[in-house]
Amino acid sequence: MTLPIAQLGQPILRRETSPLTPDELMSPEFQAFVQAMRETLQEAGGVGLAAPQVFSEHRIFLARVGAPGPDGEPPPAELFINPTILAASEERVARWEGCLSFPELLVLVPRWRQIRLQYVDESGQTIERDLMDFPARVVQHEYDHLEGILTIDRAESTLHIIKASEAEAVFGSRSRSEPESQEPTED
């Protein structure tokens, strides 16, 4: 079963989420919800999906942060429960990002290149994990959703928000050495 994806303007996208208790994590209802989130992410073709995007205030998200499979298939989506960013590098890198909640837009977002994240995994274990580059970017994007923050809030200028259908025209008109010319990533 797939879930509807909240689109830009839905109030749920601007709310902070609530942590889950250990009892909630093991409930059949929660397990069914996570499975529905996985199916929704798969159908949407994204690399991440946060609970607010499917009209839930649970403090969880899915993210594909592992290495691709042997045939280039996307890595499985990992579940991050009650995450907290513990540390971040000083270095920030700007890249274009898409979002399943407003797929018609791309936003140039500066993000930390490396982060240390603490979260609970599907088995209920607390994990600390260092992530760099693309995996760190995906996790920060989804983490922002849990805080009620959208990529458009992170844009340094309205010039850094473009219509996705115009990406080729925009990227084709810029030098490949400019940060703005980086290919977009999809959440």
User: Looking at the domain assignment, is residue 187 inside a domain?
Assistant: no
Residue 164 included in any domain: yes
* Region for residue 152 given its phi and psi (left: phi exceeds 0; alpha: psi -120 to 50; beta: otherwise): alpha
How far is residue 120's CA from residue 167's CA, in Å, rounded to a whole number? Answer: 37
Q: pLDDT tens-digit profile of 94-128?
A: 999 999 999 999 999 999 999 999 999 998 999 99
| 54-103 tens-digit pLDDT | 999 999 999 999 988 888 888 999 999 999 999 999 999 999 999 999 99
- Domain contains 5: no
Tell me whether residue 1 is in a domain: no
Q: Whole-number mean pLDDT of the chain?
A: 91
Classify residue 127 as exposed, middle or buried by CB count within 10 Å of its CB (0-12, 13-18, 19+): middle
Positive or negative, the Cα torsion across 88, 81, 106, 165?
A: positive
Cα–Cα dist 155/158, whole Å:
7
Give a yes or no: residue 177 inside a domain: yes
Residue 4 inside a domain? The answer is: no
6 within domain boundaries? no
Which strands make up the sheet holding 48-50, listed edge to edge? 48-50, 60-63, 78-88, 114-120, 126-132
State yes or no: is 186 an active-site residue. no
Distances (CA, A) of 187 to 64, 101, 131: 10, 9, 17
Residue 171 has pLDDT above 90, yes or no: no
Confidence category of residue 33, pLDDT binned at 50, 70, 90 = very high
* pTM beyond 0.75: yes
Total domains in the fold of the chain? 1
CB 142 within 8 A of CB 48: yes
**Has residue 174 been placed in a domain?**
yes
**Could you tell me the CATH number of the domain that includes residue 40?**
3.90.45.10
The single-letter DSSP state of residue 148 is: T
Does residue 141 carry a pLDDT above 70?
Answer: yes
* Catalytic residue, candidates 24, 78, 122, 142: 142
Q: What is the layout of strands, in order, in the sheet containing 105-112?
A: 92-97, 105-112, 161-163
Q: The domain containing residue 136 runs over which residues? A: 11-181
pLDDT greater than 80 at residue 186: no
